[in-house]
Amino acid sequence: MNASILRALLYLRLTSARNWLGSRLRRLRQPKYLFGAIVGVAYFYFFFIRSFSSPRHARPTNPLTGFDPAATFTLAPDSLAVATAIGALLLLVIFTVMWVVPAPRATLGFTEAEIAFLFPAPVTRRALVHFRLVSSQLRSLVGAALMMLFTNRWSFLGGNAVTHAVGWWFIFSALNLHFHGAGFTLTRLVDLGVGPWRRRLLVAATVGAVIVATFLQAPAGSRGPDLGTEPAFALLAQWVVDLTQTAPLAWLLWPFRAVLGPFLAPDVSAFLAALGPALLLIVLHYLWVVRSAVAFEEAAIDEAARKSERREGAETSGRRFGDRSPRSRPGPFALSGAGRPEFAFLWKNLLSTWPYFTGRILLLVATGIVLGATWLQRSPAGLALRPGIATAAAAFALYTLIVGPQFARQDLRNDLGNVDLLKAYPLPGWQIILGELLAPTAILAGLLWLAILTLALTLEPAGRNWAWLTPPIRVAASLGLGAIVPALVSLQLLVPNAAVLLFPGWFQTTRSRGGGPEVVGQRMIFFFAQTLTMVLALIPALLIGAVPFAIASFAGLQSTPALVAATLVASGLVLIVLLAEVAAGVRLLGARFERLDLSAELRP
């Protein structure tokens, strides 16, 4: 490789890394970012780094249960064969996909900036290939270090941190080189007139033929696992090992075993022995890539432009990479020029998500639930299914309430890229915040209403302790919960939206590639904050909501009508408290939005 190109590449990568680090460190001058960094570093230390300073497998036995983690997770010596077999099969699948799926022409994944500077530069095509390979190597090294941090905690693995890191480097390098080599070879095939479907059929037929031939080679009694006896997993694992050691599959899997060798080596001598075959494979792959390089420039330019467009879309709309391009469709409801401006945000943000979140579909699904519950009530088999369905509905509701706000992001999180536009609108900050909250609130509340409906129709309390939960009380409780849900969801959504406004620098960082300890800290802080908000918000609401029940109890009113009335009044009181809390939160965030100066926050 041309030495000047290597120097240029190293300069680019090292300078970029130094500047990235510098901008992160400068941001830590602000106390809020510093606090997040401290939390993130502490997380890394306690969960990853600390394991290096203490002896491996030294996690203590639980004195209460006698649970010994080391004894439980350390695999027996023959388990190495199982891990190798499963790993090799996984790699076979990944490598096969590389030959079946990829784009018609190799692109090498150049960025637009790299294309602008390198393609017109006086460098050979082979030097450009080397440029990408060395870039990939830097990524492989970082990836290997990170994966080592995770897998070093797997106590059933042999070896040590160094063998794991080197092992991961071999795996990543092989994947990377093979991807490029396959891309070049496929491009050559296209140029020779071999279309994608012919190629896919050829690859699938080859792998299929190897597997069929292996089954035919295997002894008649071992062509399928005998799971009739215990323990089934051990028998299944042994069957997989035997199969992968039978020719011709064993020949096909040899390279994958060689790549996995250093990572799975149980000790240093095995590691050193595994290095030779793994290195040989990497060298062969390298020669294959360099010698098979074909014209990739035109395809690389197209690919870089597409990536840039997708990135731009993601930055301005929150659309994720890999999402399909948006398609025009009618609005979710008619939006006239007059009326509350908040609904314009609801209308806009519903347009940015799937078209299934409409009132009509909500009603259709609700009808389906009612019909299904009626069938369950009348059918003997259905009666047996009801407890399971009720449990699943409750679990879904809880999951939606707690995790849903992280997924339903049709709010300020998606609109941060358009904050200048939003700030130019003649609306006070609280109205913009309220408008932005409406779409995810509507989506999550709709899902929760369906879960509550399912729960109400399938819950059949059993036992004397639940005798008071009569159908009228269940109906009242369901109605009360249904009324409370939108306010509760809005409260939950206030936290991630507060994150956007308080820490826009972090938020922008998480949307682009490359975060840092402070971003990990940020995520942890806001997960705790969301949980804490829910608890703190519910305490006063529940205290006030308990008053009608206390009065009914004090007055000796335990009849069903009295409890129904108490439930409805309590729900109303809880709703009032939650709405007051939401209003206060929206006002606070609105004031923060009005003061937000993104240009100052994002200055490196």
Partner 1 sequence: MIEVEALTKRYGSFTAVRELSFAVRPGDVLGLVGPNGAGKTTTLRCLAGIIPASSGAVRIGGHDVATDAVAAKRTLAFFPDEPRLFDYLTVRQHLNFVARLYGVADHEAIAEPLLAEFEIADKADQLPGELSRGMKQKLAIACGLLHGPRVLFFDEPLTGLDPLGIRRMKDSIARRAREGATIVLSSHLLHLLEEVCSHVLILKQGEKIANGTIAEVAARFGNGEAKVNLEDIFIRATGGSER
Residue 467 within binding range of partner 1, rule CB under 8 A: no
- Of the pair 30, 512, the CB lying nearest partner 1 is at 30
CB nearer partner 1, residue 338 or residue 381: 338
Report the site for partner 1 in 153-182 (rule: CB under 8 A). none
Q: What is the CA angle 298-304-309, rounded to 5?
A: 130
Q: Which stretch binds partner 1 (CB under 8 A): 170-178, 233-241, 343-351, 475-483?
A: 343-351
Q: Which is nearer to partner 1, 74 or 316 (CB)?
A: 316
Q: Rule CB under 8 A: say whether 347 interacts with partner 1.
A: yes
Q: How many residues bind partner 1 (CB under 8 A)?
A: 39
State the nearest-atom distance from the C-beta of 431 to partner 1, in Å: 9
Closest contact distance (angstroms) between CB of 355 and partner 1 is 11
- Residue 28, classified by CB atoms within 10 Å of its CB into exposed (0-12), middle (13-18) or buried (19+), is middle
How many residues are recorded in the chain? 604
322 touching partner 1, by CB under 8 A: no
Q: Which two tokens stand for residue 313?
A: 């879309």
Our CB check for partner 1 shows the closer of 151 and 317 to be 317
Asked if 420 is part of the footprint of partner 1 (rule: CB under 8 A), the reply reads yes
Which member of 60, 120, 322, 339 binds partner 1 (CB under 8 A)?
Answer: 339
Please name the residue ranges forming H helices in 28-160.
31-44, 50-53, 69-73, 79-100, 112-118, 125-151
d(CA 136, CA 142): 10
Instruction: Tell me the closest approach of the beta carbon of residue 443 to partner 1, in angstroms.
Output: 15
CB of 405 to partner 1, least distance (A): 21
Give the integer Cα–Cα distance in Å for 332 and 272: 63
User: Looking at 192, 220, 338, 535, which residue binds partner 1 (CB under 8 A)?
Assistant: 338
Near partner 1 by CB under 8 A: residue from 60, 192, 327, 381:
327
Binding positions for partner 1, 519-538, rule CB under 8 A: none
Terminal CA-to-CA distance of the chain, rounded, Å? 35
Instruction: Based on the shown chain and the rule CB under 8 A, indicate whether residue 316 belongs to the binding site for partner 1.
Output: yes
- What's the number of CA atoms in the CB half-sphere (13 Å) around residue 449? 21
Query: What is the nearest approach in angstroms of partner 1 to the Cβ of residue 29?
Result: 9
- State which of positions 538-577 bind partner 1 (CB under 8 A): none
Q: Is 192 or 424 the residue whose CB approaches partner 1 more closely? A: 424
Smallest gap from Cβ 421 to partner 1, in A, equals: 5
Asked if 404 and 444 touch (Cβ cutoff 8 Å), the reply is yes
Alpha carbon distance 328, 210 (integer Å): 47
The values of phi and psi at residue 173, to 5°, are -65, -45
Please list, in sequence order, all residues whose beta carbon lies within 8 angstroms of the beta carbon of residue 261, skipping any fewer than 6 positions away.
167, 170, 270, 273, 274, 275, 277, 278
The residues in 68-97 that bind partner 1, with binding defined as CB under 8 A, are none
**Nearest in space to 577 (alpha carbons), one of 535, 531, 538:** 538
- Contact between 502 and partner 1 (CB under 8 A)? no
Cis peptide before 486 (omega within 30 of 0): no
225 binds partner 1 (CB under 8 A): no
Residue 343 CB, nearest approach to partner 1 (Å): 7
SS3 331: coil
Q: Which is nearer to partner 1, 226 or 594 (CB)?
A: 594
CA 184, 188, 189, 190 dihedral sign is positive
**Under 8 Å CB-to-CB from 314, ≥6 apart: which residues?**
320, 321, 511
Q: Is 325 in the site for partner 1 (CB under 8 A)?
A: yes
- Give CA–CA dist 247/487, Å, rounded: 63
Q: Which of 97, 398, 421, 539 binds partner 1 (CB under 8 A)?
A: 421
CB of 422: closest distance to partner 1 in angstroms? Answer: 9
Describe the crossing of helices 161-191 and 79-100 by its angle, rounded to 10 degrees. Answer: 30
Q: Interface with partner 1 by CB under 8 A: which residues?
A: 309, 313, 316-317, 319, 325-328, 331, 335-339, 341, 343-344, 347-348, 351-352, 417-418, 420-421, 423-428, 594-595, 597-600, 603
